């Protein structure tokens, strides 16, 4: 059976992971959250007390880092850092900017590239990130650029942080989103941008159900209803 590759890129907080996970469930694909692997490297670099903007310093510790992605009995993606499950730890708000900083370094991106491609060779995947349609899986059957206004994304992120018991003021969340947008779109290597053959889905005015329906409609149209 041929595998199918669905690439979803977009800025932070656009709902990529929630929507991609739901769509993967509906389509029977593996959901791969690539942000989690950058978070894992960011988490490690931070725990070593490195200057995360120093590409050489970060690249120098990569040989000490083993990043593995496993799928638990709960069906959820778990991240292992040198054998330790860091799935929860990498979600702490302070790790977001660490991930964004380390992800700008070419050495880090090269280190993680093959791991992502291997997953897509072995499984039908819905993979979300920043450069999946442009760099990781340029031949993906379906490419979607999922976005929403910074304000809508900040409001959603605030609700999510509240639910997790780690609330943060709206202004702070909006500032972080804008900072990450800037970092992720202005780095020289694999910047966040819409692939030429990607379909744009803007969820600013859509709720979750509407966004999911729109996403599935694009996927079905592109895969001939598969
Ligand atoms: O999707 P996320 O918020 O968990 O991603 C964290 C950071 O990782 C994000 O700010 C940019 C980086 N990232 C990346 O550069 N390329 C990817 N494919 C996924 C994430």
202: which 2 tokens? Answer: 């803007």
159: which 2 tokens? Answer: 């609700």
Q: Is the CB of 109 under 6 A from ligand 1?
A: no
From atom 9 of ligand 1, which residue's Cα is the shortest distance away?
A: 100
Q: Is the CB of 116 under 6 A from ligand 1?
A: no
Tell the residue number behind the tokens 């941008």, with chain if given: 193
Q: Give the tens place of pLDDT for each residue, 109-123.
A: 999 999 999 999 999
Q: What is the average pLDDT score of the chain?
A: 94
Q: Report how far apart the first and last C-alpha atoms of the chain are (Å, whole number).
A: 13
Distance CA 5, CA 70 (A): 19
Nearest C-alpha neighbor of 8 from the set 126, 90, 184:
126
What is the distance in A from the centroid of ligand 1 to the CA of 117? 16
Per-residue pLDDT for 1 more than 60? Answer: no
Query: Which CATH number does 5-220 carry?
Result: 3.40.50.300
Which of the four pLDDT bands, split at 50, 70 and 90, describes residue 225? low
What is the distance in A from the centroid of ligand 1 to the CA of 79? 14
Backbone phi and psi for residue 120, each to the nearest 5 degrees, phi listed first: -75, -20
Q: C-alpha distances in angstroms, 154 versus 1, 150, 169, 171, 178?
A: 41, 6, 10, 8, 9
Q: Is the CB of 102 under 6 A from ligand 1?
A: no
Q: Is the CB of 34 under 6 A from ligand 1?
A: yes
Q: Give the tens place of pLDDT for each residue, 21-53.
A: 999 999 999 999 999 999 999 999 999 999 999
Q: What is the pLDDT of residue 226?
A: 53
For the chain, give every domain's residue range.
5-220
134: which 2 tokens? Answer: 């442009």
Q: Give the tens place of pLDDT for each residue, 137-196.
A: 999 999 999 999 999 999 999 998 899 898 999 999 999 999 999 999 999 999 999 999
From atom 14 of ligand 1, which residue's Cα is the shortest distance away?
A: 130
| pTM (predicted TM-score) | 0.92
């Amino acid at each position: 059976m041929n595998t199918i590759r669905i690439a979803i890129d977009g800025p932070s907080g656009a709902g990529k992971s929630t929507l991609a996970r739901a769509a993967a469930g509906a389509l029977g694909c593996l959901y791969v959250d690539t942000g989690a692997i950058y978070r894992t490297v960011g988490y490690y670099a931070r725990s070593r007390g490195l200057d995360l903007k120093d590409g050489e310093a970060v690249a120098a510790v990569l040989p000490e880092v083993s990043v593995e992605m496993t799928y638990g009995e709960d069906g959820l993606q778990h991240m292992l850092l040198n054998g330790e499950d860091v799935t929860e730890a990498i979600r702490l708000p302070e790790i977001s900017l660490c991930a964004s900083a380390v992800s700008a370094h070419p050495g880090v991106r090269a280190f993680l590239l093959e791991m992502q491609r291997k997953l897509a060779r072995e499984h039908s995947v819905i993979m979300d990130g920043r450069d999946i349609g442009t760099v990781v899986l340029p031949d993906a059957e379906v490419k979607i650029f999922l976005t929403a206004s910074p304000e809508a994304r900040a409001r959603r992120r605030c609700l999510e942080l509240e639910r997790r018991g780690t609330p943060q003021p709206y202004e702070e969340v909006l500032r972080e989103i804008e900072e990450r947008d800037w970092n992720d779109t202005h780095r020289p290597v694999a910047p966040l941008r819409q692939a030429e053959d990607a379909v744009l889905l803007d969820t600013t005015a859509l709720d979750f159900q509407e966004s999911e329906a729109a996403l599935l409609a694009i996927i079905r149209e592109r895969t001939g209803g598969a």
